[in-house]
Structure formats: structure tokens, C-alpha cells
Amino acid sequence: MRLKNKIALITGGANGIGRATAERFAREGAKVILWDVDEKGKEVTGQFKKEGYEVTFHKVSVTNADEVQRAVEEILKLYGRIDILINNAGITRDRTLLKMTKEEWDQVISVNLTGVFNCTQAVAPIMKAQNYGHIVSASSNVAIRGNFGQTNYVATKSAIIGMTKVWALELGRYNITVNCIAPGFITTAMTEVMPEDVKKQSLADIPLGKWGKPEDIANGYLYLASDEASFVSGICLTIDGGATR
């Protein structure tokens, strides 16, 4: 088992990529804590427990720094350490620049960027004290390629790459690796609502001719969160079927 007895915190764990990652990590022996604002996480963890996995759920908004800190302290009471942080929570509020509202801008910045900052700032001191940790955050291939109608989303995902490189420099001395993943089009609830013409165009842009599955990203998270990647830090791993070239 590649994550045997590791304590792994996954944000946005109730659905899609987060859920797939939780299952993958649990199968590899990790004790998994899911955070999400969607109480579906209770149902998800219940299913995992029936399968014999040690998975717990906490309703946490990553946008609330105080709430994040309290939830981190609860993990410490339960397990005494945090080995892995997967900053996976994210939202979209797509609109072209000339139509985007201040609220739509603020919502995406708050979850996708400030949320990553809040969680990492809360967990990093713990990893520093234990001289061990793996932090992996969700960027996107649109951070590299751009995407029509996603000023707010692309801004956050580009910033994640930059923050990853800074944190790799700052935290490396404490045996903490910091990386991010840039998924392409993945079949999730978030992408299912996209217009059909956009879906068709996205397929045309992918050399492999198919969308990815949540499990494809979970596998990437697994590698970067495991000790197999103990000498990998400060990178952005693109997983998009060759769309970014």
C-alpha cells in the first residue's frame, strides 16, 4: 500500500475528482478526512466505511479561515498529524469579461484561491513540526492555455501554479513537497453543464480524442502525495490527454 497509515486531508471531497481521490487514497491505506460544504459527503463516507475504509467527513468552508483552523485542530485531536493535503475544492462562475459581475469574480477567487491559501497556511505548521508532508493543489490546463469566458477561474488556477512554486521554495527545508495538477476536461458534474458546442470543441482539441475521468486525476494526486515523489516539488503536472502542447 502506497499510503499505508498516512493521514490525508482532501478538500472538495464529496463529489467528482475529490471523491475519486478519497477512494483511491483509502484503497492505498490512507486514513482520509473529507472536507466539503456539500453534506453529500456524509453519504460518501458512509459508503466508504461499509467497504472497510477509514474515512471521515467534516462540513467545512475553505473560504473561512477560522473554520478551517478549527477543523485542522479536530484532525490533530483525532490523529495527531497530517501527512497529506489535497487542495481540491473549486467552483466556476463563467462569464465573459464584459458581463462578469463582482460577485461572480469574488466567489471564484474566494474558493479557488483564498481557500487554498487558508488550508495550506493552517496545515503547513503541522507538517513543519513533523518534518514531513505532501501538499498538492488543483490548478487547470486553462491556466496555461486560457479559456473563453473564464477570467476569474483562469486567474485562480494560474495563481495556484505561482503559489506552488513559492511554497516549494519556502517549505522544502522542512521536508515538505508542494506540487499542483493541471487537469484538462474531466467528466464531472462541473463539466456536464457546459454547452454542447463547447464539449465538441474540447474533444477536437484533445489528441487522445476523449475526456478524462476523475480517476485519472486521482492517480496523479496519488503519485505526488506518495513517497515515490519525495524528490518532486514545485511542479505542475498536466493531465489532459495531450491538449496542452
Catalytic (active-site) positions: 153
Strands 84-87 and 55-59: unpaired
User: For residues 133 and 219, what is the distance between their CA atoms, to the nearest angstrom?
Assistant: 18
Residue 86 is classified by DSSP as E
Q: What whole-number distance in Å separates Cα of residue 211 and Cα of residue 203?
A: 7
Of 208, 228, 123, 223, nearest to 237 by C-alpha is: 223
Which amino acid makes up residue 55? V
Computed on alpha carbons and rounded to an integer, the radius of gyration of the chain in Å comes to 17
- Nearest 5 degrees, angle CA 178-CA 16-CA 55? 70
